[in-house]
A = this chain, B = another copy of it.
Amino acid sequence: MVTLSEENYLKAIYHLGKEGTIAVSTNAIAEKIESKASSVTDMIKKLAEKNLANYVKYQGVSLTNEGRLAAASVIRKHRLWEVFLVDKLNFSWDEVHDIAEQLEHIKSLKLINELDAFLQYPTHDPHGDPIPDKQGNCSPIKSINILEIEEGKEGVLSFVKDSSDVFLKYLNKNNLALGDTIKVLDFEPFDNSLSIETKTKKLIISKEVAQNLYLSL
């Protein structure tokens, strides 16, 4: 049995591992999970014990196939519940994270598969993140960061990296939503800000915001 706490560590390692790194560092996990390095060491030993992680002292951790599947399963549940909350219960996308964080730990295979069917097998959650399938496979998102797009070109906002409350509220305030077509007008090298155009208006976004917007072309 994988405990709630173990699931949270698996998730963290999974997400950090995605960035192409070979092994994830103890400190990175501690920061992500808002705990201390010593707690992380304890837990990764336990995960290794259970064959969910590969761990070599001082060399960081990676997930085993079993661990990766377990992590993907938690993420699958998290994202399906997010779809449920937004599509069926009138939540907006910036309200769902904390609740999904609780719901993702509910244990029942039948539950999640029935929920998947009830929601008509969605492939992405309300933030544009892909939903892993039963086998733990993610349809890789084919979206690129807005800073890498040439001036003059446009794309469809399909994913936002940061899904914190403050950021989602910023997007709402500025009338930016998934699915919007955005044209890149001008890059300002002084502060790395970007001037963009949506259907309704022109807008200048800071480097911090731009780093979190991903478009599909």
Interface range, A side: 10 to 19
Q: Which of A66-74, A98-106, A143-151, A164-172 contacts B (4 or more CB under 8 A)?
A: A98-106
- A residues 11-25 touching B (CB-CB < 8 Å): none
Q: How long is the Cα–Cα vector from A70 to B102 in the complex, in angstroms? A: 19
Whether A106 lies near B102 (C-beta < 8 A) is: yes
Q: Copy number in this complex?
A: 2
Q: Say how far A83's CB is from chain B's closest CB, in angstroms.
A: 14
Q: How long is the Cα–Cα vector from A111 to B111 in the complex, in angstroms? A: 18
Whether A106 lies near B99 (C-beta < 8 A) is: yes
Interface set of A (CB-CB < 8 Å, partner B): 85, 88-91, 95, 98-99, 102-103, 106-108, 110-111, 114-115, 118
List of 6 A-B pairs having minimum Cβ-Cβ separation, nearest first: A89-B114, A99-B108, A102-B106, A99-B111, A89-B118, A90-B114
Provide 16 A-B residue pairs closer than 8 Å at the C-beta atoms, listed in order of the A residue. Answer: A85-B111, A88-B118, A89-B111, A89-B114, A89-B115, A89-B118, A90-B114, A91-B110, A91-B114, A98-B108, A99-B108, A99-B111, A102-B106, A102-B108, A103-B103, A103-B106
